[in-house]
Amino acid sequence: MKKLTFIKAALIVITIIPAISYGQNQLKPKADMLKLIDKNFTDADKQYRLLIHHVPLDSMAETFEHNKWVSVAANNWVSGFYPGALLYLYKATKDTTLYNEGIRRLKVMEPEQKIDSHDIGFMMNDSYGVANQINPNANYKQVLITSANSLSKRFNPIVGCTMSWASQPGQFRVIIDNMMNLELLMWATKVTGDSSYAKIAITHANTTMKNHFRPDYSSYHLVIYDPATGAVIKKQTVQGAADESAWARGQSWGLYGYTMMYRETKDPKYLAQANHIANFILTNPNLPADKVPYWDYNAPGIPNVERDASAGAILASGLIELSHYTDVANAKRYMDVAEQIIKTLSSPQFKAKAGGNGGYILMHSVGHKPKNALVDVPLNYADYYFMEAMLRYKNLDKKAFLQ
């Protein structure tokens, strides 16, 4: 990675430091919402005190299915959400039992900083990154920088993206989920002064904006490129109902990702993209009144199909952040929806009873419906983003609301 001169480094850092502007919005949390959120965290603390006793020491909690606890290896894309959720719970409750468990799990994940995976941002930023927010230290920082280096190796400058999955010969595959991994690269430029990481993230975001989105700002799940020319070969929606459908979690990834890129760059095209995606979701005729999406906005059989709590939780967290950057009317619109999602996910329809659901907070998420994998189950990332959304809401009127 090329080091910048001091002056150039300073300019880069200035452009990507979050500069949250409240303007006329003056967003403030509501008392009834805070009461609900505090109750959720109290209940979640008890749930996770149950869950931690059912996770093998060398693995990470993923789900509870068919009355069995299911764990995954540290190299799975969802691995970081378990320690991240434990650390988010500590932020909310100061329960040191959960904090210590989260820190212990980090050691299991530490070797993954060198993994060859496009999901390393999910894995490391959502575990080590949260730990570094709570207690910044040199080891966490180095693990995250090494992780950013690992992710950077998957970048193809001809395509203009980091590669997803293990691509076939003659193919370079990129999924919308990759927008979530760019935050690790933006962070790495901030802390090292090396612009190479941010340049990769920005190029990837621009390429994805150009090729992943339809005219209505819904997104494909997968775009396959020619690695030699950068030409688009095919567009698909692998985890959705059909190639031209709007897979719900994918739409939430896009909104969250472009909101984050606006935060880090202050480039207005990213804010415009996030607003367009939000408008597609919020005006979609198949968005339920309670605002927690079906697993695909075009799923055959709506309304008699599965909901996806994970897509709702990601959406709520993204909308809460986006509300800080947009105009007053949209800020209220986004916050109203985020509040409704939190309320819906806090209801008995989605929130598990005490001692149930294997210790997870939320029921009714969908992993990969076309493969009939992880359908209508709790998922660790649904809990993670639900906690993140609630923490962001609690800190609405604080300048460091993302912390």
CA 121 to chain centre: 10
Packing angle between helix 6-16 and helix 195-211, nearest 10 degrees?
A: 40
d(CA 310, CA 376): 11
pLDDT given at position 400: 79
Please write the tens of the pLDDT for every residue from 130-159: 999 999 999 999 999 999 999 999 999 999
d(CA 313, CA 341): 7
| Active-site residue, selected from the candidate residues 95, 126, 177, 383 | 177
d(CA 397, CA 183): 23
pLDDT given at position 308: 98
Q: Residue 395: which of 77, 80, 133 has the closest Cα?
A: 133
Task: Write out residues in the chain with pLDDT < 50, as ranges.
Answer: 1-24
Which residues, 6+ apart, have CB-to-CB distance to 58 below 8 Å? 73, 74, 108
CA distances in angstroms from 130 to 37, 133, 188, 373, 387, listed in the order given? 20, 5, 15, 28, 12
Is residue 58 annotated as part of the catalytic site, yes or no?
no
Is residue 177 annotated as part of the catalytic site, yes or no?
yes
| Active-site residue, selected from the candidate residues 95, 119, 308, 383 | 119
Query: Does domain 37-394 sit in CATH 1.50.10.10?
Result: yes
pLDDT given at position 12: 40
Packing angle between helix 380-394 and helix 328-345, nearest 10 degrees?
A: 130
Give 292's DSSP letter. P
Phi, psi of 172, deg, nearest 5 = -130, 105
pLDDT given at position 42: 98
Which DSSP string corresponds to 225-238?
E-TTT--EEEEE-T
pLDDT given at position 25: 52
Burial tier of 138 (Cβ tally within 10 Å: 0-12, 13-18, 19+) = exposed
Q: Residue 35: which of 342, 363, 317 has the closest Cα?
A: 342
Q: Which helix (H) or strand (E) holds 72?
A: strand 68-72
Phi, psi of 239, deg, nearest 5 = -95, 5
CA 205 to chain centre: 15
pLDDT given at position 5: 36
Which residues, 6+ apart, have CB-to-CB distance to 136 below 8 Å? none
CA distances in angstroms from 81 to 102, 109, 399, 403, listed in the order given? 10, 11, 25, 17
CA distances in angstroms from 377 to 62, 292, 317, 358, listed in the order given? 10, 15, 20, 10
Please write the tens of the pLDDT for every residue from 231-255: 999 999 999 999 999 999 999 999 9
pLDDT given at position 192: 98
pLDDT given at position 26: 65
